[in-house]
């Protein structure tokens, strides 16, 4: 007889485990029939389980092979998310291609990607490459590889040829778009969409004093830079239209083949209906998202039901309320 509980084996980095696997999440999940089990990385995962789903954020050929072997042995398992789908987000050259290919219609807005250039050669060639590509200074510089490390989140603004020549390659250069100094982090958990505001780089005005060289920035969209309670201009603070987000997320879920991700979005000029997607991340820092425990549990319950599972909760958890439909 099938188990009345939905078992999720998880394999996360130590840092991700600390931020994501909070007691509040595990308690609420148990109350709704979901059990989390840490995979033993000292044993082959094919010798563990069976699990209804595997939640992971590990990389490398060996890990991908382990997952393939597990799926072959237990074909009914759901892997969140497939390594092949995750891989395209690890390279900023391919990361935004699916967004660039979108042709959204009747979605209450437009979505674009910044004009960008990939440079893998010697940094001395960057100024000429930029000129040939027709990119306008200043340019946002980001590492080509997006592997979740602190280094991969580093960012700089290059103002002139000298600044460009001092950058480390390989990298991606994106044209800077004024956006009111605010970006929107759009979290996706299955069908659920949650948006939070973050402070971003300030706008550059025509009359502003021109900077020189390169200016480095920390991770500007970090949780410490929240703009949720800030006294912002109403136009700047207004969230992207819900219909636009729903259209965009539906397309990205299909094209990327992912269920757990987020993306950074800015509004051109800080107002209007033209938006840019500037970054996409797999399995982001959900621990920074208010009520993520409820959203994750709702998603896993829906997944279990879609697989024909009739869940048997351990009992009510009086500390929680049912999560409303995310919007």
Is 128 annotated to bind a ligand? Reply is: no
Is 285 annotated to bind a ligand? Reply is: yes
Interaxial angle between packed helices 23-31 and 292-306, expressed in degrees from 0 to 180 and rounded to the nearest 10 = 40
Is 182 annotated to bind a ligand? Reply is: yes
State pTM to two decimals: 0.89
Is 178 annotated to bind a ligand? Reply is: yes
pLDDT of residue 12: 97
Is 205 annotated to bind a ligand? Reply is: no
List pLDDT tens digits, range 80-112.
999 999 999 999 989 999 999 998 989 999 999
Count of all residues that appear for the chain in the document: 327
pLDDT of residue 223: 42
Is 31 annotated to bind a ligand? Reply is: no
Is 217 annotated to bind a ligand? Reply is: no
- Is the pLDDT at 73 greater than 70? The verdict is yes
Rounded distance, CA 312 to CA 99, Å? 40
Rounded distance, CA 285 to CA 292, Å? 10
DSSP conformation class of 91: B
List pLDDT tens digits, range 119-152.
998 999 999 999 999 999 999 999 999 887 778 8
Pairing of strands 78-80, 53-56: parallel
Contacting residues for 167 by C-beta, under 8 A, at least 6 apart: 123, 126, 141, 156, 158, 214
Report the pLDDT averaged over residues 216-231: 58
Is 184 annotated to bind a ligand? Reply is: yes
pLDDT of residue 315: 56
79 touches 54 (CB < 8 A): yes
Is 174 annotated to bind a ligand? Reply is: yes
Is 300 annotated to bind a ligand? Reply is: no
Is 180 annotated to bind a ligand? Reply is: yes
Is 96 annotated to bind a ligand? Reply is: no
Where is 129: in which H helix or E strand? helix 126-133
Is 101 annotated to bind a ligand? Reply is: no
Count how many Cα atoms sit within 13 Å of the Cα of residue 325 in the half-sphere of its side chain. Answer: 3
CA distances from 268 to 109, 187, 278 (A): 11, 20, 12
Rounded distance, CA 202 to CA 205, Å? 9
Backbone phi, psi, residue 69, to 5°: -65, -40
Cα torsion for 292, 297, 303, 307, to the nearest 10°?
170
- Reduced to 3 states (helix: H, G, I; strand: E, B; else coil), residue 306 is helix
Report the pLDDT averaged over residues 184-212: 85
Report the pLDDT averaged over residues 249-272: 95
281 touches 146 (CB < 8 A): yes
20 touches 12 (CB < 8 A): yes
54 touches 68 (CB < 8 A): no
Closest to 201 in 3D by CA, of 215, 214, 185, 182: 182
Is 210 annotated to bind a ligand? Reply is: no
Report the pLDDT averaged over residues 48-75: 96
- Is the pLDDT at 321 greater than 80? The verdict is no
Confidence of residue 324 (pLDDT cuts 50, 70, 90): very low
Is 42 annotated to bind a ligand? Reply is: no
Report the pLDDT averaged over residues 38-49: 96
Rounded distance, CA 50 to CA 146, Å? 32
Is 15 annotated to bind a ligand? Reply is: no
Q: Which of 163-167, 276-280, 310-314 has the lowest mean pLDDT?
A: 310-314
Is 176 annotated to bind a ligand? Reply is: yes
């Amino acid at each position: 007889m099938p188990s009345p509980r939905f078992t999720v084996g998880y394999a996360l980095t130590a840092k991700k485990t600390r931020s994501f696997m909070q007691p509040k999440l595990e308690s609420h999940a148990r109350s709704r029939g979901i059990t989390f089990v840490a995979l033993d990385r000292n044993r082959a995962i094919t010798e563990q389980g069976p699990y209804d789903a595997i939640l992971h954020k590990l990389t490398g050929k060996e890990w991908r092979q382990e997952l393939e072997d597990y799926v072959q042995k237990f074909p009914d398992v759901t892997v969140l998310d497939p390594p092949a789908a995750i891989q395209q987000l690890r390279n900023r050259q391919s990361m935004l291609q699916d967004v660039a290919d979108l042709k959204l219609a009747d979605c209450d807005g437009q979505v674009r990607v910044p004009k960008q250039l990939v440079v893998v050669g010697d940094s001395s060639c960057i100024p000429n490459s930029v000129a040939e590509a027709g990119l306008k200074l200043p340019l946002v510089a980001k590492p080509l590889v997006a592997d979740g490390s602190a280094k991969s989140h580093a960012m700089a603004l290059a103002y002139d040829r000298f600044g460009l020549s001092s950058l480390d390659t390989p990298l991606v250069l994106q044209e800077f778009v004024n956006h009111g100094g605010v970006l929107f982090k759009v979290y996706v958990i299955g069908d659920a969409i949650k948006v939070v505001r973050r402070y971003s780089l300030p706008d550059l005005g025509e009359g502003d004093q021109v900077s020189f060289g390169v200016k480095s920035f920390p991770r500007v969209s970090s949780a410490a830079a929240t703009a949720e309670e800030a006294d912002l201009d109403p136009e700047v603070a207004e969230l992207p239209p819900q219909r636009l987000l729903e259209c965009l997320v539906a397309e990205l879920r299909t094209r990327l083949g992912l269920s757990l991700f987020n993306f950074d979005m800015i509004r051109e000029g800080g107002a209007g209906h033209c938006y840019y997607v500037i970054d996409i991340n797999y399995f982001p820092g959900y621990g920074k998202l208010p009520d993520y425990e409820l959203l994750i549990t709702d998603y896993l319950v829906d997944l279990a039901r879609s697989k024909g599972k009739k869940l048997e909760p351990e009992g009510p958890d009086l500390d929680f309320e049912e999560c409303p439909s995310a919007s």
